[in-house]
Structure 1
Amino acid sequence: MTHKGSCFCGAVEIAVSGDPVDMGYCHCQSCRSYSGAPFVAFTIWPSDNVAVTKGAELIGGYNKVGTSDRKYCTQCGGHMFIDHPKLGVVDVRAAILPTVDFEPKAHLSYAEAVFAVSDDLPKFVDFPAEIGGSGKLVDAAD
């Protein structure tokens, strides 16, 4: 299956194919600062399954920490995706892909949360161990 999405103005379009590797919410300071929101909803796809189908020349980028290449439309500023080349995956914000059934699996960087979320999803202090985090969960009493 292929899902299509675009930036805020529609000048840049992307397509993702297959199934996402993961979905969830990130509460880290970088995601909050970049998005202007208390947390973001993400979908993770294998790099080979994400393609820019229109407006590639309008994509700008910013890499603050050396591991995450944030991509946006230079025409409207709309966030598009974050390339994680060392992990071989691309993070596409859930809102960019309206036809994806968003089924979050966890909260990441919940120790940095500024907004409490009451749900039954695991809440990682940072990230799962499989992607370089501690794998530790936030204590339910926190």
Structure 2
Amino acid sequence: MKLSGGCNCGQVRYELSGEPVRVGICHCEACRKHSGSAFSFFGIWPKAGATLSGELSCWQSQAGGDRFCPGCGSSLFCWSEDSDEIEIKLGTLDNAPSALLPLYELWTIRREPWLAPQNGAEQHRRNRRDDGIRPPANP
């Protein structure tokens, strides 16, 4: 699989090789504020499978360094220096991420009541490492 994406102004571009390690949704306060939406939709790839170009700015968060375009402000990815993974904001892909289905949801205690749980996705009240996995919703 080869995917590409970038920021709104085109200054920052990226290409991804291979399948994502995992795909998820997060409803935490930081993701809401960072995305400007009710949740964040992201995919995790090995850093080795990502090629980045263009100048980036960084904002440190609990998840690591959130990278964004200094020109247009588009939030693109996040990674920690001590990790070999990169978290891609899937809304920044050139084509709609329709084939990338979330396998889990984080911080479901903050999910909006009008937003249904994703069928077949693991449901975590907080972070994956903080609580047990609840069975997926019936597909």
- Please give the TM-score of this superposition, normalised by the length of structure 1: 0.81
CA RMSD of aligned residues (A): 2.1
Task: Give ranges in structure 1 of 5+ residues lacking alignment.
Answer: none
- Please give the TM-score of this superposition, normalised by the length of structure 2: 0.83
1:87 and 1:114 mapped to 2: Cα distance?
A: 31
Percent identical residues: 25
> Could you say what secondary structure the match of 1:63 adopts?
strand
Q: CA 1:126–1:36 in structure 2 vs 1: closer, same or farther (change >3 Å)?
A: same
Counterpart residue number, 1:21: 21
2:27 and 2:76 mapped to 1: Cα distance?
A: 18
- Residue 122 of structure 1: how far off its partner (Å): 2.5
> Could you say what secondary structure the match of 1:111 adopts?
helix
- Residue 49 of structure 1: how far off its partner (Å): 1.2
Counterpart residue number, 1:36: 36
Counterpart residue number, 1:111: 109
The counterpart of 2:90, out of the listed 78, 91, 94, is: 94
The counterpart of 2:59, out of the listed 54, 62, 82, is: 62
> Could you say what secondary structure the match of 1:125 adopts?
coil
Q: CA 1:47–1:72 in structure 2 vs 1: closer, same or farther (change >3 Å)?
A: same
Q: Which amino acid aligns with 1:91?
A: E
Task: Give ranges in structure 2 of 5+ residues lacking alignment.
Answer: none
> Could you say what secondary structure the match of 1:33 adopts?
helix
> Could you say what secondary structure the match of 1:133 adopts?
coil
Counterpart residue number, 1:133: 130
> Could you say what secondary structure the match of 2:131 adopts?
coil
Instruction: Pick which of 94-103 and 41-50 moved more.
Output: 94-103
- Residue 99 of structure 1: how far off its partner (Å): 6.0
- Residue 115 of structure 1: how far off its partner (Å): 4.6
**Contact 1:28–1:108 at 8 Å: present in 2 too?**
yes
> Could you say what secondary structure the match of 2:61 adopts?
coil
The one-character-per-residue Cα deviations of 1:56-109 (angstroms, maximum 9, x if unpaired) are: xx20000033x4110000000011101134442111011112265221111111
1:74 and 1:36 mapped to 2: Cα distance?
A: 17
1:133 and 1:104 mapped to 2: Cα distance?
A: 19
- Residue 137 of structure 1: how far off its partner (Å): 3.5
Q: Which amino acid aligns with 1:93?
A: K
